[in-house]
Amino acid sequence: MQLHLQKLAKHYTGVAALDGIDLDIASGELVALLGPSGSGKTTLLRVIAGLLAPDNGRVLFGDTDATRLSLRERNVGFVFQHYALFRHMTVAENIAFGLRSRPRSKRPDKATIAKRVQELLQLIQLPEHGERYPEQLSGGQKQRVALARALAIDPSVLLLDEPFGALDAKVRVELRRWLRRLHEQTGQTTLFVTHDQEEALELADRVVVMRNGRIEQVGTPGDIYRAPASAYVFDFIGRANRLRGTVAFGSFALPGQSLAWPAEGQGEATLYVRPHDLAVVAPGEGLPAQVVAVQRRADRITIELAVEGQERALEADLPDHVDANLPAPGAAVGLRPQRYRVFGGD
Ligand SMILES: Nc1ncnc2c1ncn2[C@@H]1O[C@H](COP(=O)(O)OP(=O)(O)OP(=O)(O)O)[C@@H](O)[C@H]1O
């Protein structure tokens, strides 16, 4: 099922929760809606589901205008972070619920439902758990059952709102990999809300970065990471160093420095560079800096650096196997941004 969102707007007193959202989602795509708290992700998902009417704009499911259709008519499957299973029903009964509660004319017979439940239990890798009750499952298993329940009705789209948000970090990582494999098996058009950039980049075919009810950038995880369209996206997607300076005649320069880097635009600007793209070189080469601290992390060594005239310290990452020739705190070094982006303003 393709999905087309056109000029969607939703206002609350004093807040534009959605402020003109245009987005086309291809059939079979797994799309992540990524943004900080309050950026409008949940509102957008609820409008797509039919749980919330937009003030303006349209939601199309394929060629059908679904804007005024109910949740049931849209036949969407959804899983929310705290969308608890029915406690008094077994896992199998939970999964069968959507099919059993259909009107008689559309309800499959008992044997068909039982077969479908068994297929779904296989799919979520809990084939032996059908007769258990939710309280006999782990958090991750519960969310897998919630997913099976959403899939049971053969939904037109699957909507997931931070489905793994309440789980611990390790289970989260396992489940998102599992979800990716599941998606490859089912080919179900899926929208996935998260505020975790790592989750979005690892899982999605495309990532939609939201800010204040608007779409800031849409792209593949590679596009978003390597070519962030704005300072906001650069900052949100990973660790970022900032150097404030000015752009003139096609070059970015720092105050009081003769060094310059090619850049577009004019006036005050900020150069953004990720810690692993900031090379530490010999003093006298590159941008003069002083080592403030050397921190050993599990997977890298991070050098904290100060550059004269810059308020913020910088960080450069080295692979953890580079042990020889580590600069000591206080040492003078040079810095060379190897990949960077320059955006106007602060
Ligand atoms: N029922 C409501 N009444 C008033 N304001 C609301 C309501 N629902 C959402 N908002 C506001 O709309 C904006 C978007 O909220 P939304 O829940 O969509 O954001 P979100 O990106 O999903 O955030 P989170 O990650 O915290 O769930 C916020 O400023 C929120 O305060």
32 vs 303: CA distance, rounded Å = 33
**End-to-end Cα distance, the chain:** 42
Q: Which of 18, 19, 37 to mutate to test the pocket of ligand 1 (most atoms within 8 A of CB)?
A: 37
| Nearest atom, ligand 1, residue 45 CA | 18
237 vs 211: CA distance, rounded Å = 13
40 lines ligand 1 (CB under 6 A): yes
Contact 316, 303 (CB under 8 A): yes
- Tens-digit pLDDT string for the chain (346 aa): 899 999 999 999 989 999 999 999 999 999 999 999 999 999 999 999 999 999 999 999 999 999 999 988 999 998 987 757 999 999 999 999 999 988 888 899 999 999 999 999 998 899 999 999 999 999 889 999 999 999 999 899 999 999 888 788 888 898 889 899 989 988 999 999 999 999 999 999 999 999 999 999 999 999 999 899 999 999 999 899 999 999 999 999 998 888 899 999 899 999 999 999 999 999 989 999 999 999 988 788 999 999 998 989 999 998 776 666 788 899 999 999 999 999 987 5
Sheet containing 260-262, strands listed edge to edge, beginning at the edge strand earlier in sequence: 260-262, 251-253, 241-248, 267-273, 341-344
Model's pTM, two decimal places?
0.88
CA of 46 to the centre of ligand 1 (A): 11
| Nearest atom, ligand 1, residue 193 CA | 22
39 lines ligand 1 (CB under 6 A): yes
Q: Which of 8, 11, 13, 15 to mutate to test the pocket of ligand 1 (most atoms within 8 A of CB)?
A: 15
Domains of the chain (ranges, CATH numbers): 3-232 (3.40.50.300), 240-344 (2.40.50.140)
20 lines ligand 1 (CB under 6 A): no
Q: How many residues does the chain have?
A: 346
Per-residue exposure over 155-180, b if at least 16 CB sit within 10 Å of its own CB, e if not: bbbbbbbbbbbebeeebbeebbebbe
CA of 295 to the centre of ligand 1 (A): 38
310 lines ligand 1 (CB under 6 A): no
Give the other-Cβ count within 10 Å of 64's Cβ.
13
